[in-house]
Structure 1
Amino acid sequence: MRVASLDNPVRVDWFYDQRLRLDPAPYISGALEARKRLEAFPNTVRLDSVTAGHNGGIFNGPIFRRIYLSDPEHSVPFLGSKDMMTSDLTGLPRLRRSDAESGSLSYLRLAPGMTLISCSGFYAGRRSYVRPDMANIWSSQDVLKVDPDPEKIRSGYLYAFLESRFGEAFIKASVYGSAVKHIEPHHLADLPVPRFGGDLEQQIHDLVEEGAHLRAAFQAGLDTATEDLFHSVGLPELIDHRWHDTERELGFAESRWSSVSLRALNYSPRVRRLLDAIGSVEHTTLGEVCETGQLASGVRFKRIDADPDHGARLLGQRQGFWARPEGRWISLAAAPAGVRAEDETVMIASQGTLGEREVFCRPIFVTGSWLDHVYSQHFLRVVSGDPTVTGAYLFAFLRSEIAFRILRSMSTGGKQQDIHERLRREIPIPLASLADRERIAETVRQAYRDRDRADLLDDEARDLLTQAVEGADA
């Protein structure tokens, strides 16, 4: 249960400011406290006075029928409220191009420098920045766009404010609804934006922009590493594999079945063709690579909440794929050994359902700053025991569409699927030359160094803004 701060209790005039709104969100979220602080600030402007474009520059979109295609020539990447928080945008669904470019939806195309705010559902109120490589992506009606006017405000500065605790308090206080949360564009129109003059705002903008370019470099690095791997092993045809364009499995006969599994999905002919292709080049198996490493789920344990100064952030399958995770903080003293991860561990989401947009069988890579986190038992931990097949090289393969389909074919279980303990050991890992493996692995490592650097720059920009607001108020 949350209560208002005794140092700054709820006052009766606050109720009138909120038109007698009686739900507690505006009063205990810090929004009104932040608003009063910014009202006392010598120079603020309304948000809608520094935006431009469709609907004045603060807009979402209409509800519409979505028709998805797989052919890139006739479709465009489509971003939802959950996707906007992920660090790796590979594999976004693709909306029919003729619909996306129609007059009713063309304005949903993202532009670098926009701030995105999830405005419906469980994720309502979260923000992200449109980086340079997102220019050809369309967004759903559940994503609210804030399009800054470049003649009036720097885009990176505006994002830093909206991402700060001051902007967050206002945005989350605007959320309404019970079962399904919502934010509407007009709820944010009068949000007060502090102004500090050109130099500071430019400095903050430059930090955010540099971070955005590094995140674009992170995405490009991962894509390059995976493509390099398939080129290096002589399987370039697997780079742009279109699973949904291959013949559907409406019925097939299988003569190589065994007591290991009687489930038809585990004998998928489409996957068998992929396995045969990888088996035609030099390869090893995932079980052999991890023989002296680890290929198992994490330990189960009781979570004891702790504050950030005395605990570690716990990441589950949902938060593990976010650019900036927001998992709960737990006590390490009450957790068993092994909840952290070794450097270059590949974590595969190993429990879930078979929906195309679910993270089940998708991997993340643990290195750099993410070694500070702890991870739930719902990840399959892949730790190489072979120094010639590093975790970074493994990740370049396991993040591919090919590996995803192979892992999905090894599902076992009922409502909640898992990855078959024996079949996963038999996954073939294509082997490039030693020099190629090292180059591919280094590309992955550099991508994650770029991501860590981007996080630091975003934090620096937000800290500069917070210090400026608090310093002016002092």
Structure 2
Amino acid sequence: MVGALAVVKPLPEVRVTELPQEDIKWCTVSLSDVLDTGKRLEASVFEVEGRHAREAVENCTWGTVPLGEPGNGLLEKAYYPGRFKRIYCSAECGVPFYLPSQMTDIRPKPDKYISALTKCDISDLKLKRGDLLLTRSGTIGNSTIVSQTLEDVVFSDDVIRVTPKNPIDLGYLYAFFRSETGYKILQTNQYGSVIRHIEPEHLYSICVPNPPEAIKKKINDLIMQSYRLRDESNELLDTATKMLVETLNLPPIKEFQIEQFGDGYETNNYSVKLSETNKRLDGSYHVPIAKAITEHLRRNAKELLTVGDKRVSKDIILPGRFKRVYVEEGQGRVFFGGKQLFELDPSNKKYLSLAHHGDRIKEQLELHENMTLITCSGTIGKVTLVPRQWERWAANQHIIRVVPASDEIAGYLSVFLSSEYGYPLITRFTYGSVVDEINATHVSQIPFPILADKPIQDKINQLALKANSLRYEAYKLEQEALRSMNDEVIFA
């Protein structure tokens, strides 16, 4: 019999490498976390920053309190209306309907209208003042407060409505979820996995810092004052737009008389003189509404100029396309796009490298107070006035900058172009088979009315600039609240 001989070899020495915490994002993951995520081993499943955010809150000086189930925690209610199949219709026949992407706009305008035939209770969709709103799908975690501007507005069921039990928790919770720490917690679950959809139940287990009432009240007061200033700025702009409409005797946009080529056709039809084609053969350029508005302005304005006239604008800038080099926050220039154009503090900001793009930023991308911005690619015709907090920030090449001739016309220019009468005059220039585009030359050709009543025009201009100033004050108050949340609460 031959015996088996086993030889045991010593295991090689295992070296433990210390992870460079400042150079890469890292975290430890337990086996139970891996099993909870469906045995996924990709690093992207475990959001490092989300885990660190939860640790920061757990270790804060003031201790924590869970939001808890309604009635047993900080929340009185957390819900969203039941899902339903939407039936869209024209503006004349339906109710203005807002989408989650518009929730953070300072002054949202409806893009869609739902019919009364939609099988849902429209009243359940209306927002109630004093609620906190959170987007629950797609881009989750965006938040806003229902103030005067959004009260009774009909919003999508993709928005969670949260009613705090204590009124001072409204601004406090908003500031927490607007902070980088709270935003990350809202986007991840307890083991750091990124989630793409949240339900009200997900909120109940979230723990928030529990500082003294005096600190909560301070933060709440700053946030609520910020929203009051936003509402006031919207009222000023509504007043300015109303004055513009009345002075130019503009009828409702749908009441313009449009002449058609013939009445026996199922589609819209119209004729265009060869001399008026302007070398454009696309039907959208010759839409009768643009011609009707232009003729009305010519009859009722003192003078009909164009946006490119030197009495209206110094320059119209469309940046060239370029490959972007991004850097970390604090190392470059703030950079955002057209989707964030209506926000007080643009979300998802990025930072452009000054070393790679310094000259381009200075010559083309940089924003300055009281410029008028117009989106020119994809979604055409979104217009806003640059507030002071965006001074020297940068916006992408899908936004045209109109540099006003002076501050004496800057606000009036923005009010006209952002009105429902300015929109058709902008979008008529649209070209492109896949992605819609307009360029700086097109913007320079947009008709622009000078009012016969100079004091009224000056008043409209002043109202717009005052509204812009109020938005800057609102921004400062919110930033002060966020600094207090970070310095006095989360990282105290």
- Please give the TM-score of this superposition, normalised by the length of structure 2: 0.81
Cα 1:138/1:287, change in 2 over 3 Å: same
Equivalent residue number for residue 169 of structure 2: 154
Q: Summarize the alignment of residues 355-394 of structure 1 with structure 2, pairs less than 5 Å apart.
A: 359-385=379-405, 387=406, 390-394=409-413
Match of 2:253 among 204, 219, 241: 241
Cα 1:449/1:422, change in 2 over 3 Å: closer
Equivalent residue number for residue 6 of structure 2: none
- Whether 2:333 is the aligned partner of 1:329: answer no
- The secondary structure found in structure 2 opposite 1:216 is helix
Cα 1:437/1:327, change in 2 over 3 Å: same
- The secondary structure found in structure 2 opposite 1:312 is strand
* 2:374/2:382 contact within 8 Å kept: yes
- The secondary structure found in structure 2 opposite 1:411 is coil
Using the TM superposition, give the Cα deviation of residue 205 of structure 1 relative to its aligned residue in structure 2, in angstroms: 0.9
Q: Distance in 2 between matches of 1:260 and 1:394?
A: 28
Q: For residues 140-177 of structure 1, what are the alpha-carbon distances to aligned partners after superposition, in whole Å with 9 as ceiling and x for unaligned?
A: 122122221237x521112112222332121111499x
* 2:318/2:399 contact within 8 Å kept: yes
Equivalent residue number for residue 10 of structure 2: none
- Whether 2:173 is the aligned partner of 1:144: answer no
- The secondary structure found in structure 2 opposite 1:147 is strand
* 2:87/2:117 contact within 8 Å kept: no
Equivalent residue number for residue 207 of structure 2: 192
- The secondary structure found in structure 2 opposite 1:412 is coil
Match of 2:282 among 248, 253, 263: 263
Q: Distance in 2 between matches of 1:278 and 1:447?
A: 25
Equivalent residue number for residue 99 of structure 2: 80
* 2:297/2:449 contact within 8 Å kept: yes
* 1:312/1:374 contact within 8 Å kept: yes
Q: For residues 22-75 of structure 1, what are the alpha-carbon distances to aligned partners after superposition, in whole Å with 9 as ceiling and x for unaligned?
A: 46467434333333343455543221346699x962223333222334557x64
Using the TM superposition, give the Cα deviation of residue 194 of structure 1 relative to its aligned residue in structure 2, in angstroms: 2.2
- The secondary structure found in structure 2 opposite 1:10 is coil
- Whether 2:373 is the aligned partner of 1:347: answer yes
- Please give the TM-score of this superposition, normalised by the length of structure 1: 0.84
Q: For residues 186-245 of structure 1, what are the alpha-carbon distances to aligned partners after superposition, in whole Å with 9 as ceiling and x for unaligned?
A: 22211112222322111111111101111111222222222222223x3242xx424899
Amino acid of the structure 2 residue aligned with 1:251 = N
Q: For the aligned residues, what is the CA RMSD?
A: 3.5
Cα 1:362/1:39, change in 2 over 3 Å: closer
Q: Distance in 2 between matches of 1:388 and 1:438?
A: 10
Q: Distance in 1 between matches of 2:267 and 2:443?
A: 22
* 1:48/1:57 contact within 8 Å kept: no
Equivalent residue number for residue 112 of structure 1: 129
Using the TM superposition, give the Cα deviation of residue 269 of structure 1 relative to its aligned residue in structure 2, in angstroms: 1.5
Cα 1:57/1:223, change in 2 over 3 Å: same
Cα 1:457/1:38, change in 2 over 3 Å: same
Amino acid of the structure 2 residue aligned with 1:401 = E
- The secondary structure found in structure 2 opposite 1:77 is strand
- Whether 2:233 is the aligned partner of 1:218: answer yes
- The secondary structure found in structure 1 opposite 2:485 is helix
Identity of aligned residues (%): 23
Of 197-206 and 288-297, the range deviating more from structure 2 = 288-297
Of 277-286 and 413-422, the range deviating more from structure 2 = 413-422
* 1:58/1:189 contact within 8 Å kept: no
Equivalent residue number for residue 454 of structure 1: 474
Using the TM superposition, give the Cα deviation of residue 401 of structure 1 relative to its aligned residue in structure 2, in angstroms: 0.9
Q: Distance in 2 between matches of 1:193 and 1:150?
A: 15
Match of 1:181 among 196, 199, 211: 196
Using the TM superposition, give the Cα deviation of residue 276 of structure 1 relative to its aligned residue in structure 2, in angstroms: 0.9
Cα 1:422/1:11, change in 2 over 3 Å: closer
* 1:124/1:175 contact within 8 Å kept: no
Give the total of aligned pairs: 453
Using the TM superposition, give the Cα deviation of residue 429 of structure 1 relative to its aligned residue in structure 2, in angstroms: 1.3
* 2:226/2:474 contact within 8 Å kept: yes
Cα 1:278/1:127, change in 2 over 3 Å: same
Match of 1:307 among 304, 328, 331: 328
* 1:47/1:188 contact within 8 Å kept: yes
Q: Distance in 2 between matches of 1:107 and 1:453?
A: 34
* 1:155/1:205 contact within 8 Å kept: yes
Gaps of 5+ in 2: 1-18, 261-265
- Whether 2:302 is the aligned partner of 1:251: answer no
